[in-house]
Amino acid sequence: MSKSIRTIYRNGQSNCPPEVHLSDNTYVTVILPDNLPEHAAPDPAFRIPDLAQDIGPEDLSRNLEHYLYGHPKQ
């Protein structure tokens, strides 16, 4: 029975998901898409720090209870 899985080829290896169990010396067919990009686009999650902005007062972390609940400032 054939099964199609997706995996990432990285550092010269393609690792199967943990639920895929193969015996040693098992032949595997790899089909590469015709429109394979030369360089894969970076993960957009790595751009999240670039989206961060300074918000609120400079002592927000130190006096969070003051701004949330009205407690006296430290």
pLDDT at 36: 63
Do 14 and 30 touch, CB atoms closer than 8 A? Answer: yes
16-60: pLDDT as tens digits: 888 888 888 888 888 877 776 677 677 788 888 888 888 888 898
3-class DSSP state for residue 9? strand
Query: pTM (2 decimals)?
Result: 0.35
Residue bearing tokens 């961060």: 52
Q: Residue 24 has what DSSP assignment?
A: T
pLDDT confidence band for 72 (50 / 70 / 90): very high
In the predicted model, what is the mean pLDDT of residues 7-20?
A: 84
